[in-house]
Amino acid sequence: MPDPRVAGFQRFYKIKLKIPNAFFDNMKIAFIVDVFPNLSSDTFILNQITGLLDRGCEVDIYAKTALNPSRLQPDVIKFNLLDRTCYYDVAMPGNMLRRVVKALSLIIRNFHKNPGAILKSLNVFRFGKEAFSLKLLYSIIPFLNKGPYEIIQCHFGPNGDLGVVLKVLGVFNAKVITMFHGYDIRLGLEEGAQIYERLFREGDLFMSICDYNYRKLIGFGLDKEKIVYHPVGIDLDKFPFKWQAGGHTVEGPVKVLTVARLVKVKALDNGIRAIHKVLREHPDLNLEYNIIGDGYLAEELDRLIHDLDLDKVVHLLGPKNQDEVMEAMGKSHIFMLPSMAEALPVALMEAQAVGLPAIATAVGSVNEVIVEGESGYCVPAMDVDAMAERISFLINLPQRWHVMGRTGRRHISEKFNIDKLNDRLVTLYGNLVNECSG
């Protein structure tokens, strides 16, 4: 199997074009995402957007909804990103009669904006059930007076499908690029690759963030010539290295940290059980386990903590912004990520950049983030005993924490530096637009 880091770049990087900086000034890019702003996750999307703005591009953001709109990441305010954001989820009534009545009103009010796109969205001979159900019409209405754009950057497969719908119906004449992450890969595995058939056929370029995703996309039937390797990354300036030279003496509790959504796939119950096992075996150990994140399992996890008599040890801290996460990492000693599935976890990158030795499950491409045995350890997924054993092992080696931390920091700097990745991203955009206009 070809290495995606080599084969995936051949189309756009075999001959690197010398594109002047002025080329990127006013390049118009639309981002289609699920949630924006998102306090608790998806900082990689925010980092891409601000990086493109810094490089002279014009960026608009289209999102279904906002999460924690009252608490914003500092860069959302700094770059006035809410002024660039449009929320596109137009409610489609479940009742067909009401849906038709509302659709007639939408057509009357919007027909002048793009008659061709509206008529195409109603073409049942070409689009079948999607047109007959009026799904296509409702999906394009918020975009009709927007643009034009040269690039539509979609994060997550389903948003890529919306991007190609906008392209096929003639709403935008732009190149559609889709970056797959985690849940969209799992969705393809659960529901079948056919859900991405139109996206794979009509999409112009696909970004694989890791080797795991590359293999899955190929398995779904995506043409490998359409794939480039482009991982997510982090801003290392926002995650300063925590250790001073020499060993470390712990004063107070040893602090273990997890940053993750409180959802099933993150398997946080296993992380809590691993802490419980460590304390059963070492009852005199002064240990604290903090979990940052929000999600539908908050109450269930809280009950588990109480049932295991860990109320004074395990703390659910709720969602935090990036500055607060960085502060928590700076006060912690060990990072743990007990997920049952991952692609390329950004929180793990951040922890390694700060210098936290890490314990994570060997899923997805986690092994691309951890330098095994040098910056942390991978254990089998769902193996509470193995997780507990590695926690105990690391707790007993505080003199090694700073050494492992330096290895992790160096690795993240070399592989996942967002500045380098954003330079690469604008070059990719420029080559794609230049290729299509040349």
Domain boundaries 4-233+417-437, corresponding CATH code: 3.40.50.2000
Q: Tens digits of per-residue pLDDT, 282-312?
A: 999 999 999 999 999 999 999 999 999 999 9
Residue, of 2 and 65, whose pLDDT is higher: 65
89 to 26, 35, 65, 68, 177: CA distances (angstroms)? 27, 11, 8, 17, 21
The one-letter code for the residue type at 8 is: G
Q: Tens digits of per-residue pLDDT, 330-373?
A: 999 999 999 999 989 999 999 999 999 999 999 999 999 999 99
SS (H, E, C) 97-114: HHHHHHHHHHHHHHHHHC
Pairing of strands 85-87, 58-67: parallel
Q: Tens digits of per-residue pLDDT, 149-174?
A: 999 999 999 999 999 999 999 999 99
In this predicted structure, the answer to whether residue 16 has a pLDDT above a threshold of 50 is: no
Q: Do domains 4-233+417-437 and 236-415 have the same CATH topology?
A: yes
The full set of domain ranges for the chain reads 4-233+417-437, 236-415
Q: Tokens standing for 228?
A: 């480039």
Q: Tens digits of per-residue pLDDT, 193-252?
A: 999 999 999 999 999 999 999 999 999 999 999 999 999 999 999 899 998 765 566 789
* Second-level CATH architecture of 236-415: 3-Layer(aba) Sandwich (3.40)
Q: Tokens standing for 105?
A: 């009103």
Return the minimum-mean-pLDDT range out of 161-165, 320-324, 404-408: 320-324
This prediction has a pTM of 0.85
At 419 the three-state DSSP class reads helix
Burial (0-12, 13-18, 19+ Cβ within 10 Å), 342: buried
